[in-house]
Copies of this chain bind each other. A is one copy, B any other.
Amino acid sequence: MADKKHSHEDCKKNILAVHDAMDVLNGKWTISIIAVLCFHQQRRFSDILADVKGISNRMLSKELKEMEMHKLVKRTVQDTQPITVLYELTEYGRKLQSVINNLSDWGHEHRKKVMGK
């Protein structure tokens, strides 16, 4: 990454790549959910529901299903009584870790900036 070139072609390719990434990550809550799973490895539906402030169960359900289709998360059902469902990032999804870390850092700074005013 450090040796990234910046020819005309590369610009286009990189912009396209970001666009592709956003195609998958564009859900209103997708990135927040990934963040939760980055910081928790395994997490139950109801816990994620609590972690992601503002999301409704309907939306969480839909997003998780979509993310599962995109192979970003893995869903595991444990037949306890009552049922328990665990979500975790796939290896593929885990590759977004550095994106999340950077966003987190930026978010901290952003918060300071906004609150400071």
Contacts and interface: CB of A to CB of B under 8 A. Distances in A.
Q: How large is the interface on A (under 10, 10 to 19, 20 to 34, 35 or more residues)?
A: 35 or more
A69 interface: no
Nearest to A34: B18
Contact of A39 (B6, B22, B106, B108): B6
Interface stretch (A56-64, A76-84, A93-101): A93-101
A85 interface: no
Contacts of A20: 107-108, 110-111, 114
Interface of A: 1, 4, 6, 11, 13-22, 24, 26, 28, 31-32, 35-36, 39-40, 51-53, 92, 95-96, 98-111, 113-114
